[in-house]
Chain A
Amino acid sequence: MNRKQWNPGLPSPETLKRYRIWDSYFTPAHGHPGDDGSNALVADIKRALPAIQKGRFERACYFPHVGIGTTSDQNLEHLLRTRPDVVLGPMTRWPKFLIGMIQVNSNDVPASLKAIDRWLADGPMVGVYLPGGGPGARRCDDPALGPLIERVAELRGVIMVHTWFKTGGKRNPSESTPSELAVLAARYPEQTFVCAHAGGEWQRGLRAIRQHSNVHVETSGFDATAGFIEMAVREITAGRIIFGSHLPSRSLGTELAKVISADIGEEDKRLILGQNFRRLLRVDSK
């Protein structure tokens, strides 16, 4: 048997190609890109490439650090702040594949505003990411984030927020829950937010955001628990769900199976796997 023809659990390559998969949550070296600004990042992208190719992904969005204090490594922060070419390295190497949303430092709003102007207004980044941990994390409903949210809204960028509902409560007070994102979303009804991981415990997460039509949910970051997508489609419709892979720390199997195996229609799968994200990014809607 030729292993290349035996891919148990996966749809056919033709079916995958038809889905036109755009991954909204690609996490190579998510916490630190490496001492030289990209070595760990590039290594992790290469590590994920077999799965990306097997899944026939068209594009993937990652979350670069840009030197505004989102890591604890002062040397790295200086390097990224002073060498934009280093930040752009992976996008230069994979220009037709990578999309970027910068990680912002919610504890340094002025620096984040400058970075938003530098990387969103002038391109090539398409949005911002509010992390759940590290020195840049802060509860997303903190009013101090107001100027940052307003500037991204002016630039029509996407705001991706790491969220979790953890049994027993937060391990880290700076991490946001879907309920806190709902508070933020109510303040800015014209802005689109993405509730990354659907709160992890997605039954609560979906309930927390379902009344807020400007909140989408992202699908990665928790076990391949059956029934998630079915409930999400029922509660918020397929039009508000966007696929994320969390590769390489999670897997194609865990994350793609949530969607391809769900008891929903093929058109809904196409929306979730790529069409919705392209709509958020204002690229083609075909």
Chain B
Amino acid sequence: MLNRRQVIQLSLSSATVAAATSDAMGAVDPDERIIDTNSHLSRWPFRRLPLDHVERLVNKYRSIGITEAWVSSFDGLLHRDITSVNERLASQSKMFDELVPIGVVNLNLPDWESDLQRCCEHHQMFGVRLYPSYHNYELDDPMMLELLRRAAENGRLVQIVVALEDVRTQHSRLRVKDVDLSPLGEALSRVEGAVVQVLNARSVADRSNEWSKIDRLYFDTARVDSTDGVPQLVEQFHAGQVMLGTHAPLLIPEAALIRTHESGQLDVATLRAVLSGNAKKLMAGLAS
């Protein structure tokens, strides 16, 4: 673990990196914040990633103008000692101003309620992240309603990860289906005040009629592909529901950034909202 002095040294070297890359990456307006709502620390279980050191990840973010990242931990996928996973996540996140920790809760572990409580009260995390397919439950499970209820009571965001990897490229001994989102609308209707962000959904267009009316439901852009996929998502829902997510470090963070603007279809205000404004509003709303 780095001490404070090492962190300061790293920050200085990061600034050098950012300065050196600013020409290559295009000018980054210092007033323009970019928030990545979907990121992870620690190791992807199946191979090493170029940015799976927290310092490298933060340096990358600085070099491309991402000023804040909501991070959870890949350890939360398979580890059963979720309490220590969240301890490490909180500890690492404190070393970098950019990192906002989002704790992991596994509803299939005994006493998950204490993990949620620790995330909220001890770590002061503003949200938790769920991996229903990896943790083997469906969204219509009664535990899910209970989690939503408790999160709402505490004013916390619940992020639901639909998928982490294309099912076609998964390890043959660990094949995980995408989460079935069909019970989500009903669940939200039953828990007043629950705030949910769906991460890594490839397409949610078939549910736009139902979900565009739920202003407590948000989406990220990490796996929304096609040249105009992000503008279509904004059009299908409303601009306030869509937030940048990169799914770094498994996916290359620049990919999600470029997709927000490559078609030229979003006006400046909407682009700003997707890149940071909606996330800032969401955080402010939860804090109030």
Contacts and interface: CB of A to CB of B under 8 A. Distances in A.
A75 interface: no
Contacts of B227: 47-48, 50-51, 247-248, 250-252
Given A1-B268, A3-B267, A11 B24 contact: yes
Interface string A203-236: 1000000000000000000111111001000000
Contact of A1 (B32, B168, B171, B262): B32
Interface in B144-172: 165-172
B175 A168 contact: yes
A10 B175 contact: no
B264 A257 contact: no
B1 interface: no
A8 B172 contact: no
Contacts of B48: 227
Interface stretch (A76-84, A112-120, A125-133, A258-266): A258-266
Given A47-B228, A251-B225, A200 B258 contact: no
B205 to A, nearest CB: 15
A203 B265 CA distance: 35
A249 interface: yes
A166 B259 CA distance: 26
B168 A257 contact: no
B257 A8 contact: yes
B95 interface: no
B111 interface: no
Given A226-B251, A263-B50, A251 B24 contact: no
Nearest to A7: B26
B252 A258 contact: yes
Interface string B89-108: 00000000000000000000
B64 interface: yes
Contact of A226 (B25, B29, B250, B258): B250
Interface of B: 23-29, 32, 34, 47-51, 64-65, 165-172, 175, 223, 225-229, 248-265, 267-268, 271, 275
Interface of A: 1, 3, 5-12, 15, 47-48, 50-51, 54-55, 164, 166-168, 200-201, 203, 222-227, 230, 247-254, 256-258, 260-261, 263
